[in-house]
Chain A
Amino acid sequence: MAAEDRNPGTPLARLASRRKFLADTGKTVAGVGIFGLALGLYSSKTDALPATALRPPGALPEPDFLAACVRCGLCVQDCPYGILKLAELGNDVSTGTPFFTARTGPCEMCEDIPCVPVCPTGALDPKMTDITKSRMGLAVVVDQESCIAFQGLRCEVCFNICPVRGKAITLEYSANKRSGHHALFVPVVYSADCTGCGLCEKACILEEAAIKVLPMRLAKGELGHHYRLGWEQKNQAGEALVTPDVEHKFNLPEGVHYDYSGRGLYVDQPGVPPPAPSPAPGPGAAAPGGSDFPFSANPLDSLNSKMPGAQ
């Protein structure tokens, strides 16, 4: 290139410098962009919290938590039991965020919850002031085959260690079919009261705990949102919400009746009492009038009506 072409004033030089600018900017943007893409992918990979890692009490739902937690570790340093850890680079938990592991260090459920107010950003919600309202996860009896209570042995350690004793975990009795004359005292967890502190998992006497605290997303099922449970709706409304069935009328001659429970048509005979009314329909069904209701509450009655020995 001739010397005058490199002179900044000439059109050719301006074109060259513009090209150089565009090429340099393009290179930088491409390089930085590739880094950003990799970072985004890595970040989305670590978004899924492992099932054994539980967040401190009052933690916002995970997506909000990852936007709000600055990974300063103040909650870790204010936990009097030292159960909280900050995830290290290489952990499955998002780097630098706090978590605890129930089996090795469960939340001791301090009444003043010192880890929450110290959080500078509100990633641990300052509105969390009652530790029994926290939901760090949900205890689940994951293995009935190894839990010794299901074998008919008395254990009840999880029941007794539970800080919300008698509410979050109850013992429910049933017959011990193996021995035939003992009871099973089986632990049952209720999500309405379980805080997910993990004390039960820590205390479980097995080599590998049969009761484990899982994150809510794994522990809870969810009914389809369109589902309505009839009895609850009825209780809420104070009455049945479906129109009662219209009582069926047969156009029968005088003195002729229909017995729905199996006898079929019959004719009144002087001196013979009318047959016993059909079994009462269930409480949820539409109220029929007397014995003229066409169906038994027990569907087996109709199915068995032709069987020998049927009523």
Chain B
Amino acid sequence: MATPLKDLGKDAIAEKGWFGAHKYLILRRISQIGIIALFLLGPWAGIWILKGNLVSSLVFDTVPLTDPMVFLQMLAAGFVGVGSTAIIGAVIVAVFYYLVGGRVYCSWVCPINIVTDAAHWTRRKLDIRQSAKLKPSIRYYMLALVLVVAFATGSLAYELVNPVSIVNRGLIFGMGFGWAALAAVFLFDLFVARHGWCGHICPMGAFYGLIGAKSQLRVRADGRANCDDCMECYEVCPEAQVIPPAVKSAPDGSPVILSGACTNCGRCIDICPNYVYAFGLRGLALVTPPTIDVQPETGANPQGAVTAKEKQIA
């Protein structure tokens, strides 16, 4: 039966310990903050491991990395004489995310993710339930719009307001009113729409979702037989619509979370006390789930509970 919100994560902590139940969350925070720290090591300590910012950088002054979405915007803006460094950099980044999942950028790299996660956490603590009904597909319209505006203005217009690059660049080079952009995203996610920015609006999420739609690294629900419908993964998942096709499909259906919208954040793996989820490859389970004797509570209607909760989330 669905776990009450106030008990969220308690079963997982009881089963795996606090660190075990927050493993990927901690690793993601280390990754997100560590990347910014590497960028700051240069200007602050003179140690140039990463130079530039997330939009375009140099690793050890040699390997170029360029955000392929900004690269696309340049082409749309009509700049065709792009330097080879940017092309090589964009290819490296695109191939990386093609393999590990595009939205790994969202949950392991993007600094805004910390902000929207904080908004979601606050939302839960304040028990804010109302949310504007936005369609997750808005982001694809946004992505198209970003390219259209670049074409129409002949400049990287979206980069003027893109909170992702404003915050990342601001931390390294000076924020200006960038804090306002940060606050706007936080307040939007807190009061206007649940998972509003990352799950519905952000065109970068849309772009990286498309890049990584066929990625090899995937969350797999090989232990779905263990699922006792506690619904905790739905509560923590930033893109909860990706779960049911893997967990609740017919027995012969794929247990792999196939949607490109999945950010590979691993919160479902952390929060699940019954080891339903694990990272694996698209065609290969890397972890064998333990068999747990699940005893559904009497009177519970797992299938019905899921449907009701799903509706509430979507």
Residue positions of A touching B, CB distance < 8 A = 24, 28-29, 31-33, 35-36, 39-40, 42-44, 46-47, 63-64, 66-74, 76-78, 85-91, 94-96, 118-122, 126
Contact = CB atoms under 8 A, between A and B. Distances in A.
Contact of B174 (A40, A47, A88): A88
B220 interface: no
Interface string B182-226: 000000000000000000000000000000000000000000000
B104 interface: no
A96 B135 contact: no
A28 B135 CA distance: 8
A46 B160 CA distance: 9
A39 B169 contact: no
Contacts of A76: 173
A146 B57 CA distance: 46
Interface string B30-68: 000000000000110000100111011110000010110
Nearest to A118: B58
Which of B51, B70, B89 has the most A CB atoms < 10 Å from its CB?
B51
A76 to B, nearest CB: 7
A89 B53 contact: no
Contacts of B48: 77
B161 A73 contact: no
A70 B74 contact: yes
A32 B79 contact: no
Given A70-B74, A90-B177, A33 B145 contact: yes
B19 interface: no
Given A72-B55, A96-B165, A96-B169, A122 B176 contact: no
B142 A77 contact: no
Given A67-B150, A76-B173, A119-B83, 14 more contacts: A40-B149, A66-B155, A69-B156, A70-B70, A71-B169, A72-B53, A86-B173, A86-B174, A88-B176, A89-B177, A89-B178, A118-B58, A120-B66, A122-B86
A33 B146 CA distance: 10
B245 to A, nearest CB: 20
B5 interface: no
A121 B82 contact: yes
Contacts of A95: 159-161, 166
Contacts of B158: 39
B155 A67 contact: yes
Contacts of A78: 51
Contacts of A91: 176
Contact of A72 (B56, B79, B181): B56
A121 B176 contact: no
Contacts of B86: 70, 120-122
B288 interface: no
A121 B55 CA distance: 11
A73 B178 contact: no
Contacts of B137: 28
B180 interface: yes
28 contacts: A28-B141, A32-B141, A36-B145, A40-B153, A43-B149, A43-B160, A46-B160, A47-B155, A63-B154, A67-B154, A70-B70, A70-B71, A70-B74, A71-B156, A72-B55, A74-B57, A74-B58, A77-B43, A85-B174, A86-B169, A86-B174, A88-B170, A88-B173, A95-B166, A118-B58, A119-B83, A121-B79, A121-B86
Contact of A39 (B64, B138, B149): B149
A33 B149 CA distance: 10
Contact of B53 (A24, A68, A73, A94): A73
Given A39-B161, A74-B57, A44 B153 contact: yes
Contacts of B305: none
Contacts of A121: 56, 66, 74, 79, 82-83, 85-86
B52 A72 contact: yes
B78 interface: yes
B79 A73 contact: no
Contacts of A36: 145, 148-149
B271 interface: no
A212 B71 CA distance: 36
Contacts of B57: 72, 74
B79 A68 contact: yes
A50 B165 CA distance: 23
A73 B82 contact: no
Given A70-B67, A119-B83, A96 B159 contact: yes
Contacts of A69: 156
Nearest to B170: A88
B128 interface: no
B172 interface: yes
Contact of A40 (B79, B82, B152, B176): B152
Contacts of A66: 77, 154-156
A73 B159 CA distance: 14
B138 A28 contact: yes
Contacts of B51: 74, 77-78
B152 to A, nearest CB: 6
B55 A71 contact: yes
B52 A77 contact: yes
Contacts of B165: 71, 96
Contacts of B178: 88-89
Nearest to A32: B141
B123 to A, nearest CB: 22
B176 A89 contact: yes
B83 A122 contact: yes
Closest 7 CB pairs of A and B: A88-B176, A72-B56, A66-B155, A43-B157, A67-B77, A90-B177, A122-B83
A28 B67 CA distance: 27
B81 interface: yes
